[in-house]
Structure 1
Amino acid sequence: MKARTLQKDKVNIITLGCSKNLVDSEVLSGQLAANAIDVVHENKKLDHNIVVVNTCGFIDKAKEESINTILDQLELKRRGKLDKVFVTGCLSERYRNDLELEMPQVDAWFGTMELPLMLKRFEVDYKAELVGERLLSTPQHYAYLKISEGCNRTCSFCAIPLMRGQHVSKTIEALVAEAEGLVKKGVKEVMLIAQELTYYGLDIYKKRELPRLLHALADVKGLEWIRLHYAYPSKFPLEILDVMRERENICKYLDMPLQHASNNMLKAMKRNITREEMSELIHQIRERVPGICLRTTLIAGFPGETEEDVEELKAFLVEHKFDRVGIFSYSHEENTSAHLLEDNISQEDKELRAQEIMEVQQEISLERNQEKVGKTLKVIVDKREAGRYLGRTEFDSVEVDNEVIINTTKRLKIGDFVMVKITKAFDYDLEGELV
């Protein structure tokens, strides 16, 4: 143990949860590296002596995974394989007092906004001049761009404002500078992320400025794809769609979590929108941006959800034929307004409902994919796996959406764009020949 501490520190960062957490880890890495501290992400070699676990506290499964990961690292520390274990992120922000009592072996706990404090533990200072600088943990050709932090919405099921605070936008100038820095590193695609994209600018510019930001980012030379994640449907700023239609490098892709389609559930979830208003919005989106890919996320098993509500949701999916759908089982979160309701649906029933809904979507997804057979699409090459290349179209985001299997004997470069003629469609993937 003593011999280890004589060596230079090497820090391993383990990131759990969403892409927003991943960006936080990348920023921490950038700060440590700039202070001459050796840092790696998800290190498999186990040649590090300090671990930072960046936790997720969003739903029960995520919390369980975070706790198990911390316990695994503490076991390595007990066996003398690690000198220190630090914990940060959403779980730490929300449950720090309880966790400190349960896991006293953790060397220090930090909240979501305590990066300068964490750096003090490494005996270095936060370098303000590094704003926007980070060590990417993604492949070189794509990156996430976090445009704001926190959320002012009051959805009854959601604990994010408890962990991330109120909405704070970054300036357009700072985001353009960050995007330019990413392009210099080889990034060709950025995915705009926030707790809520459409609220962007209200705090600093006193109006919704996502369209202006999109125009500014679309002007960044070398940025070939800009993708929008996590748009809130209520009071959706339709001007976004005009920018998307006008600017070639903004993907015809919109991730808009709706959560449900029954008015009873939307009201109970405090979503500030009705099924009828959502239908009208979807029609307007498709009218303004022909061929757009719509992705949504849903919740199954919210307190009080009936079989009729589930049927209504399934009918809504059939009516609107979303290209991509993700679904969560409801998680009963303390200090949210939904926690006052009785969590009256068993976990088994929540999962059965989620499965039922996804079976409806599976057929829609296959139908949507079959429409692409015979078409030639622009594809970004993401990786080579099991002797074949896998990529994505502009209608697919990383990890959550479809992949394209590219049949070719040619050697392709990861991160390049190629044209692929689609020859086969599966439930969630496509296959094609290199043109």
Structure 2
Amino acid sequence: MAKTVSIISLGCPRNLVDSEKLVSSFIKKGYRFQEGILNSDTVIVNTCAFIEDAKKESVDNILRAIDAKKDGNIKKIIVAGCLSERYRKELTGELKEVDEFRGVLKFNGSVGAINDRPLLTPKHYAYIKISEGCANRCTYCIIPYLKGNYKSRPIESIKKEAVRLVKNGAKEIILIGQDTSLYGVDLYRKKRLGDLLKELAKISKDVWVRLLYLHPANLDKEVIEAIRDNENICRYIDLPLEHINDRILKQMARRTNKREIIALIEYIRKEIPDAAIRTSFIVGFPGEGDREFKELASFIKETKFERLGVFKYSREEGTKAYGYKNQIPEKEKQRRFNRIMSAQQGISKKVNERFKGRVLKMLVEEKGKGYYTARTEYDAPDIDGLVYVNPALPSTAQTNIRKGGVKGKNLKIGNFYDVKITDTFEYDLIGDCFGRHKSNGGRRSNLLI
């Protein structure tokens, strides 16, 4: 009987792809993958160490695996990823029950390195890592010191992986990297993300291509034009800005400023009026006084980002910002975090109200009790909102969700449907299904009815 392997994958989608590769390496050795850690021969905990909360989550999951091993439910524990890379000596000394510590996966851009990896996502969407490492040296971030310099995969390798995933049922390909906007600069001596997007858009007009992790200092017009000109590339611009005050941006080593950021946002909205811009900000960075925070809060209120996340600054050993003076108390960080998130709730509600009465193409994710959940092109998995879909007409989804019963024809998970939006929440939508989405030459189903 084949030995079994299971995995606890923590952190971002980039780590998830590494987890898929780790599982693949065991399958090639004859192991069988199983979900859930109990009664598994080998459990891998693929850790994250980006910020303090991520480190705590990683340690908690390692301890959970250790408890299961003590109870006889696990035979072997392997700890991998950033936490192990960063604190291997300390972890080895303290966690004697762990059988093996591994660091981060080493870069291998060949097709053989990525083919046939088992997906840890539902089969209708998949992440493709287009690069490894990071060329930026943001003063708050430890990742470049763990992952190394920026290394791009060849376009041909990425395209072959995308074709294989589509043949296996993927309806959405999500491109990731520490900074996708720099793609190609090392391999081709120039940025070629726009070229990559155009190549992937050719694979199938019935498959979404989504792009994450763009750096505002590195994003060029060719990328925006590729998104604008290809209907199956999601109108979704993931653009972490981190702050807007010029002094704080300089202290963060973000290599951009307020004027350039505003100009970039205006350009995106001019070229792609229906784009959803997702961004993230850090509050409580060393030296962020009331004046700098108020400037950030005002900018968010004025700009009205479609999607927004906030992080409290995490003081990380080994980063330049660790030694900065004027560190902000945790209580004040939390107050600023709460204020931004509260303001964004109102903004998000108004943004969502724009969709009311429109018919949107969306990808059905799961069947719930009395409804289905789906995503629009304006929503990435896990981090953004959902659409609660009623498959029957003419009753509204809102009514049927409250009654608690799915009516009408069943929807197929992983397929595209046209859904008319009938109501909105702060982050989520409610809608009635109009039926399977039919390809219309790439034009969007975004009609006001």
Contact conserved, 2:107 with 2:132, CA < 8 A, in 1?
A: no
Partner residue in 2 for 1:419: 418
Q: 1:226 and 1:316, CA in 2 relative to 1: closer, same or farther beyond 3 A?
A: same
- Provide Cα deviations, 1:319-372, integer angstroms capped at 9, x if missing partner: 211100011111000111101113621212111101101111111101100111
Q: Which amino acid aligns with 2:238?
A: D
Q: 1:355 and 1:347, CA in 2 relative to 1: closer, same or farther beyond 3 A?
A: same
Q: Mean alpha-carbon deviation: is it higher for 162-171 or for 28-37?
A: 28-37
- Provide Cα deviations, 1:49-84, integer angstroms capped at 9, x if missing partner: 211100000100100110111112112222322221
Q: 1:223 and 1:145, CA in 2 relative to 1: closer, same or farther beyond 3 A?
A: farther
CA distance in 1, matches of 2:114, 2:426: 42
Pairing 1:105–2:97 present: yes
Match of 2:241 among 235, 255, 258: 258
Contact conserved, 2:2 with 2:30, CA < 8 A, in 1?
A: no
Instruction: Give how far 1:89 is off.
Output: 0.5
Q: 1:286 and 1:248, CA in 2 relative to 1: closer, same or farther beyond 3 A?
A: same
Q: Which amino acid aligns with 1:147?
A: I
Instruction: Give how far 1:132 is off.
Output: 3.2
Pairing 1:163–2:143 present: no
Match of 1:213 among 196, 221, 224: 196
Pairing 1:9–2:3 present: yes
Match of 1:370 among 333, 336, 353: 353
Instruction: Give how far 1:130 is off.
Output: 4.9
Contact conserved, 2:422 with 2:431, CA < 8 A, in 1?
A: yes
Q: 1:254 and 1:115, CA in 2 relative to 1: closer, same or farther beyond 3 A?
A: closer
CA distance in 1, matches of 2:3, 2:196: 40
Partner residue in 2 for 1:123: none
Partner residue in 2 for 1:242: 225
Superposition RMSD in Å:
1.6
Partner residue in 2 for 1:338: 321
- Provide Cα deviations, 1:202-242, integer angstroms capped at 9, x if missing partner: 11100000011001111113651011110000142111111
Q: 1:391 and 1:134, CA in 2 relative to 1: closer, same or farther beyond 3 A?
A: same
Tell me, what secondary structure is at the counterpart of 2:228? helix
Q: Which amino acid aligns with 2:50?
A: F
Tell me, what secondary structure is at the counterpart of 1:94? helix
Contact conserved, 1:252 with 1:395, CA < 8 A, in 2?
A: yes
CA distance in 1, matches of 2:53, 2:369: 30
Partner residue in 1 for 2:254: 271
Q: 1:235 and 1:12, CA in 2 relative to 1: closer, same or farther beyond 3 A?
A: closer
Q: 1:376 and 1:223, CA in 2 relative to 1: closer, same or farther beyond 3 A?
A: closer
Pairing 1:189–2:172 present: yes
CA distance in 1, matches of 2:23, 2:164: 16
Partner residue in 1 for 2:404: none
Q: Mean alpha-carbon deviation: is it higher for 80-89 or for 293-302?
A: 80-89
Partner residue in 2 for 1:296: 279
Q: How many residues align?
A: 417
**Identical-residue share of aligned pairs (%):** 42
5+ residue gaps in structure 2? 392-406, 435-449
Instruction: Give how far 1:273 is off.
Output: 0.7
Q: Which amino acid aligns with 1:418?
A: Y
Q: Which amino acid aligns with 2:8?
A: I
Partner residue in 1 for 2:48: 56
Partner residue in 1 for 2:60: 68
Partner residue in 1 for 2:26: 32
Q: Which amino acid aligns with 1:107?
A: D
Match of 1:79 among 60, 71, 79: 71
Pairing 1:402–2:396 present: no
Instruction: Give how far 1:9 is off.
Output: 1.9
Q: Which amino acid aligns with 1:25?
A: S
CA distance in 1, matches of 2:111, 2:228: 37
Q: Which amino acid aligns with 1:86?
A: I
CA distance in 2, matches of 1:169, 1:223: 27
Q: 1:235 and 1:79, CA in 2 relative to 1: closer, same or farther beyond 3 A?
A: closer
Pairing 1:229–2:247 present: no
Q: Which amino acid aligns with 1:64?
A: K
Tell me, what secondary structure is at the counterpart of 1:250? coil
Partner residue in 2 for 1:312: 295
CA distance in 2, matches of 1:100, 1:162: 20
Q: Which amino acid aligns with 1:55?
A: T
Partner residue in 2 for 1:433: 432
Q: Which amino acid aligns with 1:26?
A: E
CA distance in 1, matches of 2:105, 2:206: 29
- Provide Cα deviations, 1:99-151, integer angstroms capped at 9, x if missing partner: 111112211111112599xxxxxxxxxx9835333101111101111100110
Q: 1:129 and 1:370, CA in 2 relative to 1: closer, same or farther beyond 3 A?
A: closer
CA distance in 1, matches of 2:105, 2:325: 33
Instruction: Give how far 1:32 is off.
Output: 2.1
> Scaled by the length of structure 1, what TM-score is found?
0.93
CA distance in 1, matches of 2:214, 2:91: 33
Partner residue in 1 for 2:87: 95
Contact conserved, 1:132 with 1:175, CA < 8 A, in 2?
A: no
Partner residue in 1 for 2:439: none
CA distance in 2, matches of 1:71, 1:234: 40
Contact conserved, 1:245 with 1:288, CA < 8 A, in 2?
A: yes
Match of 1:380 among 345, 352, 363: 363
Q: Which amino acid aligns with 1:370?
A: E
CA distance in 1, matches of 2:374, 2:204: 23
Q: Which amino acid aligns with 2:75?
A: D
Tell me, what secondary structure is at the counterpart of 2:74? coil
Partner residue in 2 for 1:173: 156
Contact conserved, 2:359 with 2:419, CA < 8 A, in 1?
A: yes
